[in-house]
Every structure is written in structure tokens, then in C-alpha cells.
Structure 1
Amino acid sequence: MNQDNFENESTLNGTYHPEQEDSGSDRDSSNSVYSMSSGEIEDHFIERHDRRFHSHGNGRPGQYPFPVDDLESQRLDHMHDLVKDLLDGHNYRGPVQQTLAVRADGHRVRILDIGTGNGKWVEEMADEFPHTKVYGLDIVPLATRYPAENVQFEVHDINSTTRWAQGRFDFVHMRQTCFSPVNVTSVIREISRILRPQGLFLACEWIPGIFRMDGSDVTPLTNHSTEILNRLHDFSTHQRLFCDPSSIPVMLIESAAFENVVAERHFVYLDETALGRRAKQSLLDFARASRYYLLDSGIAVSEIGQYLMDLRSGLDNGGEMCLIYLTVYARRKVMLQ
């Protein structure tokens, strides 16, 4: 990606003028979950495999591959809590508190969460930073229709341009989208457009796979216990639904729109500590949620069942194994005209 991709339009140059601010964008949009009728919400879903899926594309491969029902929302809650504990009780890494500090000039600090799911991250951030306005975007309306006063959930395909003016947000957050139909290149371009100069972007992703740790050497496991994860990775790559999280720091640097890029790896040992047991359970729940996607890929039910048994056996009998959670944060550059 070359520099011209981001800097050949004046709307992307990172120079912010208060008089350009769209004062109406704090009001409910036509796509806000609050303003949608029950019938409109139900139109976003379809029943398959005795579970509820996103109706766009009939829930088939090429779209969001996981269920979008109450059971999946519970899985996302457990994953959210696990990640928060991993990050020392916070919902973020990097200079977030500094970025979201109350402004003396009266500026309303705004946060955007991309791929918000059931909206738990948004609700907790709105509670921690009550002076901010927090928006959650997702292609599926899973979040509550009755959020806190400083929260707004909207239905939007992040692969297309958002409704907000240039430089609208102080902080943009995106996590766990590597198995979603997200064009990361175009999403980073849009994030650079809607971030204020020196605004903060934070991406958080699990690096796919189970890893064995031996001192400083970390290598992915390749055995029967990881076969279901390997199949999911291969099929998602074939369907163009997978983005390697390790490429995000490079993409930010190559975009020429960001600076001070910091990537950190957080290791979760799959041991018998409380955190380790929860991580193993979350991995098993993730694998179970992916089985419908694998069924659509042509793998037999019995074969998927064996993969799940092998994964559980591997987690119960493994040695020093771990999961790796990647956080990447960066500042939006101030571009000189």
C-alpha cells in the first residue's frame, strides 16, 4: 500500500477544522438500533442448524460465519471478561485515559467501537468515561435497544463509508474481527478519515492457533488437537474471511496515516489456574460455535465431532501451551498541508 492511497484527497489529510464538524451526528441516525422496529430487527436474522444467524447471504459462507443468538452472546460475554482480566482489568491498552480526558474547551469526546457484537465493551466504556459519547457499529443488531444516555448502537457494514464527517472521533476500537467479512485495508482507511489528528486507534485480536512455549521459543502446535482450528483457518482463508492479525501493525505503518505504532503480545497459559481454565473453556466454546461454518464447508458432522473431542483431549493432556492475544495501538498523524 503506498502513501498516495491515503493522502490524495483533502478529506483524508488529517487536518481538523472545528467549523467543519457535523453537529447533527450525535443524534440518532436512521440506522440506530433504538429507532428500529422489532420487525426490522428480525429481518436481520435467519434460522439454520437450530441456531440464529445473520440473514445477509442467508448465513452462508462468505458472510459472518458464527451464530448471532443468545447463546453466542453469552460466549462473547465470557470472552470479553477473559480479555479484560488479561489486560489487568481494563478494556484497553495504550494511552486511552489520556486520549479520553475531559477537555477544557468543551469538546465532546467521542468513541467508536467497530464490530461491537452485543455491545458489552461499549456499555462498560460509557460507564467508565461518562463524559464521552460512545458508538457501537455492527452489521447485526445484537446490542440492546435501550442503551445508556451516552451510548448509541448502529447497524452498519464497516466495509462501506460511515456517515460521520472527517475527524469525528477521538478513539476508535476494533477487536476480534479476523474471522469476519472485514476488508482491513479499507477499514483502516476509513478509520484514518474519521479519527481526529492525534486520535487513537486500538486493534485487539487473538492470533489463531495454540502455541507451545519453551522459554523464549513460541511455535504453533500441529497435531490432532488443533485440526479443527486448522480447518477453520483454511476454509476462512479460502472464503476471504480471514485476516492475519500479525499484519495489522505493518498495514498501519504502510498506510502513512498513523504513527507511534505499538504492538504487544499477551500470553495466556492453558494451565490449571483460574485464568487458564477459563481460556480453555473459551477456546472450546469458540470451536463449537464454528462447527456450523465447517458443516457448510462440506465436513461431515461425525468428523467435526471427532475434531472437538481431539481438541478437548489435547487441552486436558497438554503441556506448556498458550494462546496469544495481540493488541496494536497507534496515533493518527497530523498531516501538514
Structure 2
Amino acid sequence: MRLNYPVVFPLNQISFVGEDDSEYFCQLYGRRFNVLSQTYPLPVDEEEVRRSELHHRILKFLFNGKNYVGPMKDVLAPREGKERCRILDLGTGGGFWAIDLADEFPTAEVIGVDLAPIQPREVPENCTFELCDLDQFFLPYPNEHFDVIHARFMHTGISNFPRFLNEIARMLRPGGLVILIEPDPEPIADGKTATELTRSGQPSGMRGWFALWEAYAQCLRDKGIDVKVPSQLSTLLTNTRAFDRVVTQEGNIPIGFWPKDPTALTIGQLAWMDYDIMLPALKPLFLSAGMKEWEAKKLIEEAHQDLYYPLVRPSARLHIVHAIKKATSL
């Protein structure tokens, strides 16, 4: 079992996190944040680890009990003369996906990378966690080094997503698999997005909920984050010219207790818990953007009211893309 893990900075300078990891955190408006990046907008405390676990459980239900989409087993199949397979989990959060993959593929080396040491200290022998700000020009990993690269729920920490995808292409071996999963920030009510409702002149039925997510999207824009990235994952990946067999899927995630199907109901309950935790986590972002205390409190309380007592059926949309790197990049 590994009890500590390296911090990988640019130029491959490495140090190790011990039992005292306080230097990697700071306090802001009563919540704990990472110190490596000012771009990522959310806290990195126990509540956010809980949300990371909820994301993991939601996706396992969405993927029918699996941890991934795409030809993972084929890509990681042992081949004579081939060195040990390597899996890179970017934005690993609580590390749940990396640990599960290390258990499922014990002969593979799994590396989970995040901004803060919020992962377990005791993990499978073939799993390592590293700290690195992924929003930089060059990531400190070799060319064509990984067989699988996975990134989910982390585009809000990346100011230049096309550059980030080019780095993924550089680090992935030919024939390797990339998996990208990002939530669309646009809220949905009764199957219609905010944009569709605005065009039709219909009320959303969740005024407070829609107002909060519009404020969130504006805060992201102000921080230089492209909020259209999730819906453009396939196009952005294709634009690297490094991948073929790009497969795009959408996951419609119910929020709450309204679905009749048992699996959808379970997903809806988990999503409801996710958003219940996330709403107060947005307060530091709103305050940092210049919103007054009472304004942020009112915005969050009204969104919570819509979450607790919805007049319509809220949902969210996940954009899911996987692709294989070309044998020869153009």
C-alpha cells in the first residue's frame, strides 16, 4: 500500500506529500481550496470528495455497472514484448475511478492527477496519485507514454481546452484510448434547455435554479473558461487531427425523485445529492466575483428551494466522448 504520493511540477521536479499536507490548501470564505490553481472554481474539501464519489456512482449506473466506455480491455490487453500498460486519470478528484481501474487491471500502472491531495493514502500497489496543475502549456509526462487517458468533470479548471487536448494527444500512444466526460452547464426542465425555453417564451418553472446556473456560467466566463467546451468535445478532439473513431454519446441525468424507471430513479437520487452539496460550494465563487453576501445567499437559497420543491422535472446533460489515437498523427 502506498502511504504518500509525489507532487509533479513543470520540468519534472518531484517532491512527496507526507502526513502534513496543509501547504497544499488555503481557506477562502470558510471553505478549503487548492493552492496550485486559481482557475478551478470549487473547493477541495470533504464535501467535494463526497461529490466526486457521487459522480463515480452515477456514471457506473449510467454505464451499466462499468467504469468506462470504449474498447478499454482491448487497448490494455497484454501483448508479447509490450511493456506494462499505463493509465492516466486527469482531474482524479477523490481517486475513485483510478482505484477501481487499478483493481480491475492489476497488471496496469494507474496514475491519478489532481490539484490537491484529497485521495486515499492507502491504495492498490499499482495506483499512484500525483499533484499537478493541468492548466499549463506543457504537462510533465513523456510523449506517447500512456495507453489510456481519462478526464471527467474537470474542464472548469482548464482555460485553454484545445491546448489541453493537444497535450493528451501528445502523451497518448498510437492506438491508445482517450475518454472525456463533461457536464453541460445549461440547466434543463421538462426536457427543454434554458435556451429552448427562452426562444419559445416559456417560463422554466424553476426560476431560482435557472438564475443560479446562469450566474455560475458567467463566473466561469469571467475566469476565462469556455462554457461551450462540453457540447463541443467531439469537434475539439477531432480538431487535434490525432484521433479517429471518435464516438460521441449523451447521458441525460435526471435530478430528483421523479423517474419511474428504477435505475433512472437511483441516478436521479444520486444527482439530487450531488447538487444539494454543490450549491453552497458555489458561494465562494460568487463572492470572489464581486457578488454581495446577501445576493449570493439569496441566489443559492432560491435554487435550493427549486431543488427541494420542484414544479417541473429537472435534469442535466453529460457529454461523453471516446476515441482512438491514429497510428500516425498528421
Instruction: State the TM-score, normalized to the length of structure 2.
Output: 0.84
Choose from 75, 95, 100 the match for 1:99: 75
User: Residues 34 and 70 of structure 1: is their aligned pair in 2 closer, same or farther, counting only changes over 3 Å?
Assistant: farther
Aligned counterpart, 1:238 = 222
User: Residues 31 and 210 of structure 1: is their aligned pair in 2 closer, same or farther, counting only changes over 3 Å?
Assistant: same
Tell whether the 8 Å contact from 1:233 to 1:242 is kept in structure 2 after alignment: no
- Looking at structure 2, the residues matched to 76 and 243 of structure 1 have their Cα atoms a distance apart, in angstroms, of 20
1:179 corresponds to 2:156: yes
- Looking at structure 1, the residues matched to 36 and 133 of structure 2 have their Cα atoms a distance apart, in angstroms, of 11
Aligned counterpart, 2:305 = 313
Q: Look up the SS of the partner of 2:17 in the other structure.
A: coil
User: Residues 131 and 110 of structure 1: is their aligned pair in 2 closer, same or farther, counting only changes over 3 Å?
Assistant: same
Tell whether the 8 Å contact from 2:252 to 2:317 is kept in structure 1 after alignment: yes
Unaligned ranges ≥5, structure 1? 1-27
Choose from 27, 31, 55 the match for 1:51: 31
- Looking at structure 2, the residues matched to 188 and 79 of structure 1 have their Cα atoms a distance apart, in angstroms, of 22
1:70 corresponds to 2:46: yes
Tell whether the 8 Å contact from 1:213 to 1:219 is kept in structure 2 after alignment: no
- Looking at structure 2, the residues matched to 179 and 30 of structure 1 have their Cα atoms a distance apart, in angstroms, of 21
Tell whether the 8 Å contact from 2:185 to 2:227 is kept in structure 1 after alignment: no
Aligned counterpart, 2:58 = 82
Q: In structure 2, what residue type is equivalent to 1:263?
A: T
Tell whether the 8 Å contact from 1:260 to 1:330 is kept in structure 2 after alignment: yes
- Looking at structure 2, the residues matched to 271 and 287 of structure 1 have their Cα atoms a distance apart, in angstroms, of 15
- Looking at structure 1, the residues matched to 256 and 141 of structure 2 have their Cα atoms a distance apart, in angstroms, of 45
User: Residues 51 and 214 of structure 1: is their aligned pair in 2 closer, same or farther, counting only changes over 3 Å?
Assistant: closer
User: Residues 85 and 113 of structure 1: is their aligned pair in 2 closer, same or farther, counting only changes over 3 Å?
Assistant: same
- Looking at structure 2, the residues matched to 218 and 243 of structure 1 have their Cα atoms a distance apart, in angstroms, of 14
User: Residues 286 and 186 of structure 1: is their aligned pair in 2 closer, same or farther, counting only changes over 3 Å?
Assistant: same
Aligned counterpart, 2:260 = none
User: Residues 34 and 130 of structure 1: is their aligned pair in 2 closer, same or farther, counting only changes over 3 Å?
Assistant: farther
Aligned counterpart, 2:249 = 264
1:174 deviates by: 0.4
Q: Look up the SS of the partner of 2:186 in the other structure.
A: strand
Choose from 211, 215, 219 the match for 1:227: 211
- Looking at structure 1, the residues matched to 329 and 242 of structure 2 have their Cα atoms a distance apart, in angstroms, of 12
Q: Look up the SS of the partner of 1:247 in the other structure.
A: helix
How many percent of aligned residue pairs carry the same amino acid?
26
- Looking at structure 2, the residues matched to 83 and 167 of structure 1 have their Cα atoms a distance apart, in angstroms, of 28
Choose from 311, 325, 328 the match for 1:332: 325
Deviations 1:112-139 (A, max 9, x none): 0011122111011101111110001122
Unaligned ranges ≥5, structure 2? 198-203, 258-264
Aligned counterpart, 1:35 = 16
1:45 deviates by: 0.9
Q: In structure 1, what residue type is equivalent to 2:23?
A: D
User: Residues 301 and 86 of structure 1: is their aligned pair in 2 closer, same or farther, counting only changes over 3 Å?
Assistant: farther
Provide the aligned C-alpha RMSD in A: 2.7
Tell whether the 8 Å contact from 2:143 to 2:171 is kept in structure 1 after alignment: yes
- Looking at structure 2, the residues matched to 164 and 81 of structure 1 have their Cα atoms a distance apart, in angstroms, of 29
Choose from 277, 293, 302 the match for 2:285: 293
1:202 corresponds to 2:183: no
Please give the residue correspondences for 1:271-282 in structure 2 after superposition, counting only pairs within 5 Å: 271-272=256-257, 273-282=265-274
